[in-house]
Amino acid sequence: MKQIATLIFPAMMLLGAAASASANPFPNGNPQTGEKLFAQYNCNQCHNAIMGGDGNKIFTRPNRIRNTPEGLIEQIGICSGNVKAHFTPQETQDIASYLNIFYKFK
């Protein structure tokens, strides 16, 4: 028993350290799935027009409206109405983790 404890405890310490070092705000999101959903629902259709071509620039424009992970989640909820999507919490996390390649929230 004592042996097991001495093995498990350092493993837990390591896991904890890894989690805090990466500090991903969307740890349960799958960015690949998010990218697919974003493309499937043609999310950039309006953003392309707004940004004059490259819709992705809306996520990095200096006056962007969302500057926190919570705000990003909220905006995905708002914009999902634009494409008549009803994303599950999991899908919302997936899209957020994909969009975080632009937002770079830690």
Residue ranges that bind ligand HEC, judged by CB under 6 A? 38, 41, 43, 45-47, 50, 58-59, 64-66, 72, 75-76, 79-80, 82-83, 85, 95, 99
Closest CB to ligand HEC among residues 9, 67: 67
Nearest C-alpha neighbor of 38 from the set 69, 70, 78, 79: 79
Is the Cβ–Cβ distance between 51 and 61 less than 8 Å? yes
Closest CB to ligand HEC among residues 30, 83: 83
Strand ranges (DSSP E) for 6-102?
none
The nearest distance, CB 3 to ligand HEC, in angstroms, is 50
